[in-house]
Every structure is written in structure tokens, then in C-alpha cells.
């Protein structure tokens, strides 16, 4: 393990007011999103979509690192250039999702355990050779009647810690993602309790596995009331709760916290991240960044719909959401940004 390189990479991932773009949807997840929009669920369609993303002009102004999927890291532009070279040439650090998905946790109805530890050392070594410099592993924690169980939180935290230790051994910065899901009727307070318990357990396990905190990034959820909770909350309430929870559970040695978007509407995700940075940026020990998939990609995907004629408009929409995320991360986002000429692409009608 080259300690200094890991520390430098982790710092770069959250430097310059930028954040991470997650474009690591597994084939089933990507296909599901394509199916909703009538896009063919083929390897070529996934390749074309990822080419649209990585060739978006100016993406590197807002995005410090891009998380790829195993299929994507091996793909190329139509002209033969490997995606990983296109990304690196744009000044974006290539990353890779290395978990193999969340499966049912035996003995715990309604709960999941993320798999992928078998053979991970060898896979990490291959990804490093290919040029990846960081990795991602997502654990999911669902709230429900009596859930999450302690067994689910512990099993996922231990898997995250073993993954993180293997990453650092291989020279890759681990992005540690324990995601408390938004689905459910739970209150903001309940989400905070669970998020805090999950994070405390994760950091205890990271310590147990000897993970160097300065060489990792935490990717948590923002604390939110459940999607069907009758009492939704203001951006300020959400931000207060999130910061409170993080201060109690995340060591100051961690260089950055990059929030997942978790299916929040794109504009709301920007509004909340902005409120957090406006109010707390100068008082937090960590950078407060983003690591989003849907909040950056969704409008672009809806414009593209698998048509070459929509590529430019889709790239403009992608770049716009990346710029809004960057502004939010700097505390400079304003709803008026959604009405500037740069957003024309977002409202442009995609070709039928
Ligand atoms: P969302 O921003 O769409 O939640 O995706 C982030 C991610 O990488 C999930 O693992």
C-alpha cells in the first residue's frame, strides 16, 4: 500500500469544489432505466449511452472522479479509444464499482447483504492495472417494521470494512457506501437514528480491519423522512439532522463525505447539498461533496432516449446538472440556475 498516494487521491476526489459522478449502474439496473424510456436493453445501447456521458464537453470542470461498472471500464468509444483514457484525459479520476450486488440476508426477511468479497483481491489488482484509482461498494439498509436488525447492520459493516482494507492494499481509495434507503413511512428522526447506528458500526469495523481513514471517502445518504412519511421536512431541517448525525459518527480524519442522491429529485438534491454547505461548510472537518448517479444523469437520459440526434441536448443537460451539483457543493447554487440558457436543453423536447 502506498499510503501517501491513497491520501493524495482521496483528497483530489473531493478537491476543487467538485464531486463524483456515479455511472456504475449494473446491467440489470441500467436496463431497467432504459426499459422505462423505450431504449433497447443491449450492450451497444449501454456503450453508446456511456460514450455520451464520458465525451460531454466540460464535464471535468465539475466532476473529479467517475465510477464505472465492469462492462463499462472495458468499453471504448466508437473510434476505438478506451473510455478510461477519455476520462483520464478530461482530468477525471477513474473509479470502479466492485460489489456484486445486494442479496437476501439469510434469516432476516426484508433485509439485504452486499456480496462480492470472493476473488476481490484479484479483481482489484486487475482494475488498478487498467487505471482505476478508487472503488465503490454499496450496502443497503432498509427501514421497516422491526428493521433494520442489528444482524443486517453488522454484516454489511463488516463486508464494507473488509472491502475497504482490500482496496487500500491494492492502492485504490475505497468509497464506503452504507445507504439507508428512502422507501418507507419513517420519520426524519428515525432515519437519523438508523443512519447514526449504521455509521458508528461501519467506523468501528473499519478500525477493526485497519483501514486508514485519511485514504477513504464516505458515501452516505442524506438523513430524510421516508418517501411516504406524512411529515416531509424543509431543506434546513434535513440539513440540521444530517450534520448532527455525521458529527456524532464520522471521524474528522476522513477527508470527504460524498452524498449519494438516492432517488431525490435532482433539483431538491442540489438545494439540500447547497443548504448544507452554506450553513456548515466552514465548520465541518470534512469536505461535503456529492457522488450522484440519478441526480446528475436522469434528465440527460430522458432527453437521449437512445437517439443520436438527441446526444448534444442530452450532454448539455448532463453538464448542467453536474454544474448545479458543483455549485451546491460550493454553497453557490440558486434555483435561478435552473432557468438560465444552459438549461434550455433540459426543457427541449427530445426527438420522437
Ligand atoms: P444515486 O445518486 O442515484 O443514489 O446513485 C448513487 C450510487 O452510486 C448508488 O450506489
Q: How far is the CA of 31 from the centre of ligand 1 (A)?
A: 16
**Ligand 1: residue whose CA is nearest its atom 9:** 260
Nearest atom, ligand 1, residue 292 CA: 2
Sequence-distant (≥ 6) Cβ neighbours of residue 273 within 8 angstroms? 222, 259, 288, 290, 325, 328, 329, 333
**Ligand 1: residue whose CA is nearest its atom 5:** 293
pLDDT digits (tens, 9 = 90+) for 117-126: 999 999 999 9
Contact 179, 263 (CB under 8 A): no
Q: How far is the CA of 253 from the centre of ligand 1 (A)?
A: 24
Q: Could you tell me the CATH superfamily of domain 3-347?
A: Aldolase class I (3.20.20.70)
pTM: 0.96
Instruction: Measure the CA–CA gap between 235 and 55, rounded to whole angstroms.
Output: 33
pLDDT digits (tens, 9 = 90+) for 50-97: 999 999 999 999 999 999 999 999 999 999 999 999 999 999 999 999
Q: What value does the mean pLDDT take over residues 314-335?
A: 97
**DSSP reduced 3-state for 127:** helix
Q: How confident is the model at residue 344 (pLDDT cuts 50, 70, 90)?
A: very low
Q: How confident is the model at residue 352 (pLDDT cuts 50, 70, 90)?
A: very low
Q: How far is the CA of 262 from the centre of ligand 1 (A)?
A: 6
How many C-alpha atoms does 75 have within 13 Å on its Cβ side? 20
Nearest atom, ligand 1, residue 22 CA: 8
Mean of per-residue pLDDT scores for the chain: 96
- Position 347 scores a pLDDT of 41
pLDDT digits (tens, 9 = 90+) for 104-153: 999 999 999 999 999 999 999 999 999 999 999 999 999 999 999 999 99
Q: What value does the mean pLDDT take over residues 34-43?
A: 98
Q: How far is the CA of 291 from the centre of ligand 1 (A)?
A: 7
- Position 279 scores a pLDDT of 97
Q: How confident is the model at residue 340 (pLDDT cuts 50, 70, 90)?
A: low
Task: Provide the annotated active-site residues.
Answer: 177, 219
Pocket residues: Cβ below 6 A from ligand 1? 22, 138, 177, 260-262, 292-295
Amino acid at each position: 500500500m502506498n499510503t501517501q498516494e491513497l491520501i493524495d487521491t482521496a483528497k483530489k476526489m473531493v478537491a476543487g469544489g467538485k464531486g463524483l459522478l456515479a455511472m456504475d449502474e449494473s446491467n440489470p439496473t441500467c436496463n431497467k432505466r432504459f426499459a422505462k424510456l423505450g431504449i433497447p436493453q443491449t450492450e451497444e445501447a449501454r456503450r453508446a449511452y456511456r460514450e455520451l456521458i464520458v465525451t460531454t464537453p466540460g464535464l471535468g470542470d465539475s466532476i473529479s472522479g467517475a465510477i464505472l461498472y465492469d462492462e463499462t471500464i472495458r468499453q471504448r468509444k466508437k473510434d476505438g479509444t478506451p473510455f478510461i483514457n477519455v476520462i483520464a484525459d478530461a482530468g477525471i479520476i477513474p473509479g470502479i464499482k466492485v460489489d456484486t450486488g445486494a442479496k437476501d440476508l439469510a434469516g432476516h426477511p426484508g433485509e439485504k447483504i452486499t456480496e462480492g468479497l470472493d476473488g476481490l483481491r484479484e479483481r482489484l489488482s486487475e482494475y488498478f492495472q487498467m487505471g482505476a484509482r478508487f472503488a465503490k461498494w454499496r450496502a443497503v439498509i432498509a427501514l421497516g417494521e422491526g428493521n433494520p436488525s442489528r444482524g443486517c447492520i453488522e454484516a454489511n459493516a463488516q463486508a464494507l470494512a473488509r472491502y475497504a482494507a482490500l482496496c487500500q492494499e491494492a492502492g485504490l481509495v475505497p468509497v464506503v457506501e452504507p445507504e439507508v434507503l428512502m422507501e418507507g413511512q419513517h420519520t426524519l428522526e428515525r432515519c437519523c437514528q438508523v443512519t447514526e447506528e449504521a455509521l458508528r458500526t461501519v467506523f468501528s469495523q473499519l478500525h477493526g480491519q485497519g483501514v486508514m481513514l485519511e485514504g477513504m471517502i464516505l458515501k452516505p445518504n442524506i438523513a430524510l423522512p421516508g418517501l411516504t412519511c406524512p411529515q416531509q421536512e424543509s431543506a434546513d431541517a434535513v440539513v440540521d439532522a444530517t450534520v448532527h448525525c455525521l458529527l456524532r459518527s464520522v471521524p474528522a480524519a476522513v477527508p470527504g463525505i460524498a452524498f449519494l442522491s438516492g432517488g431525490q429529485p435532482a433539483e431538491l438534491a442540489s438545494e439540500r447539498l447547497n443548504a448544507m454547505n452554506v450553513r456548515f461548510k466552514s465548520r465541518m472537518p470534512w469536505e461535503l461533496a456529492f457522488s450522484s448517479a440519478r441526480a446528475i444523469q436522469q434528465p440527460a437520459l430522458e432527453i437521449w432516449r437512445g437517439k443520436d440526434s438527441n446526444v448534444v441536448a442530452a450532454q448539455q443537460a448532463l453538464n448542467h446538472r453536474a454544474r448545479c451539483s458543483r455549485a451546491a457543493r460550493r454553497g453557490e447554487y440558486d434555483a435561478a440556475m435552473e432557468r438560465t440558457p444552459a438549461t434550455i436543453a433540459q426543457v427541449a423536447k427530445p426527438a420522437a
